Chain A
Amino acid sequence: MKYLDRIKRSAAYRSIFRLPDVATDRDRAASHWSSFLLHLYPVKVRRRELRFGYSAFLGVASLVLFASLVVSGIYLMFFYVPSPSTAYGNIQTIQTNIAFGQYIRNTHRWAAHLMVLAVAAHMAKVFYRGAYKPPKEFNWVVGVVLLVLTLLLSFTGYLLPWDQLAYWAVTVGTSMASYVPLAGETTKDILLGGPTVGSSTLVRFYVLHVAVLPVATVAVLTIHMWRWRKDAMLTVDEPEIAEPAEDELVLATAEGDE
């Protein structure tokens, strides 16, 4: 601990973390705000938000899964070329000849499925807690956008191994697009880049999967978390404190007046 204290007092540490001599909550709040990573968080939250039952930490779980998908996905990108003649062979090479390739591919696959589950569970939890109510209505809408982005990310990634599973799952999935009234065939053409799933489809899905959708997700996620921080200190209601329901109170007062 003595060494830790010495490090904390060193000029280098203090220049990085800009900590004042921590004494009061006000000082702690000030150092919190001056930290790049901590500024994503509010300085304070309600005490009950610490309990597991409040959120089951499903939002954090979704975020961590997304982060692990970005990391494992970047690793896979080094060894993958999105063309029907190379894609499948690249996956085989990743699994057999690349250091940690099979493990990283497994991580990417399972984390993707888990992220869909975590995002859906997070939404259900938010619903049952009533956390979509004013002033947080719009952050719920931002969350729905993130759900759609998550599904699109997962679906576009599904095609990339270019195996029978990928090919026909995407054929089924995109065939639904052709039933959109009026713009159906156009939508399908834009998605597939041809009459059936082929090399243009693979390039389109790849670009969406590694560039467009992740960037969009990070942008919307930032808004989602920023609004969460902004709303953290606003009272919506305090239902969990045991108190008589409001209309009972009104009745009691009315009787007292008579």
Chain B
Amino acid sequence: MANQEPRVIDNQRVLGVVPGKPAAGDRKELQEQDTVMVWPHLLVRHAVAALFVLLVVMLIALFFDAPLREIANPTNTPNPEKAPWYFAALQELLAHFHPLIAGVLVPGAIIGGLVALPYIDRNPSLLPQARRIARVTFTVFMVAWILLTLVGFAFRGPNWSWVWPWEEWHGEL
């Protein structure tokens, strides 16, 4: 940079050329032709996406009522006792492992692993073929989690026994 001729812009005077990196760090600015103005290009798309999401929520809310069971009764434990669906995977693990593992270590490891992910995966490439290990690892965990959630949500009945959801339905939203 310091050895190059300064680029002179029409109607602007060069006051001086300062060698070194920009204050923001060693960052490569984008080429102008790769970019578009956010207004209208991105904002119009965001507006359409937002309206679509609201439409979906509206339709679901019009046709499906939120569940309301009988009033809470601390003396009458339902069987099965189900956690909300996003904790169904943990509840399923709880049926197989010691609570310390299923209730504390696994969720702790998941959150800790997610937080640490960008600091563990130091591979700078964004190319899918260069990120095979990261992609496979993430996919395996994600699929396992989805399966556990499905099992805990829909495939478990009284006393946490196995049921087929098309025969007995015990999922709660």
Q: B-contacting residues of A (Cβ < 8 Å)? A: 25, 28-29, 32, 38, 41-47, 49-50, 57, 60-61, 64-65, 68, 84, 88, 91-92, 95, 102-103, 105-111, 113-114, 116, 118, 123-124, 127-130, 132-138, 140-141, 144, 147-148, 151, 154-155, 158, 161-169, 171-173, 175-177, 179-181, 196-198, 233-237, 239, 245
Contact = CB atoms under 8 A, between A and B. Distances in A.
Interface stretch (B4-12, B13-21, B123-131, B161-169): B123-131
B39 A28 contact: yes
A106 B34 CA distance: 43
B60 interface: yes
Q: In the complex, which of the residues B41, B61, B104 has the most CB atoms of chain A within 10 Å of its own CB atom?
A: B61
B105 to A, nearest CB: 9
Contacts of A133: 118, 121, 124, 126
Contact of B30 (A108, A144, A197, A233): A233
Contact of B118 (A106, A137, A177): A137
B96 interface: no
Interface of B: 25, 27-30, 34-39, 41-43, 45-46, 49-50, 53-54, 56-58, 60-62, 64-74, 76-78, 81-87, 90-91, 94, 99-100, 102-104, 111, 114-115, 117-119, 121, 124-128, 130-131, 135, 138, 142, 172-173
Q: What 8 A-B pairs are tightest by C-beta distance, nearest first?
A: A176-B103, A137-B118, A167-B72, A109-B66, A57-B49, A106-B61, A130-B126, A239-B126
Contacts of B77: 168
B115 A239 contact: no
A154 B65 contact: no
Contacts of A235: 27-30
A128 B131 CA distance: 9
A168 to B, nearest CB: 5
Pick from A103, A168, A236 the residue with the most CB of B within 10 Å. A168
A24 to B, nearest CB: 11
A239 B123 CA distance: 13
A65 B57 contact: yes
A107 B87 contact: no
Contacts, number: 218
A94 B27 CA distance: 55
Nearest to A166: B72
Nearest to A111: B57
A75 B29 CA distance: 46
B46 A60 contact: yes
The SS class assigned to the B binding surface is helix
Given A106-B60, A118-B53, 16 more contacts: A41-B43, A43-B37, A46-B35, A47-B34, A60-B46, A60-B49, A88-B72, A110-B61, A124-B142, A133-B118, A137-B119, A140-B117, A158-B84, A164-B73, A176-B102, A237-B124
Contacts of A92: 68
Nearest to A161: B68
A176 B111 contact: no
A179 B103 contact: yes
Contact of A154 (B86, B103, B121): B86
Contacts of B111: 144, 148
Contact of B36 (A44, A107, A135): A44
Contacts of A166: 72
A245 B129 CA distance: 11
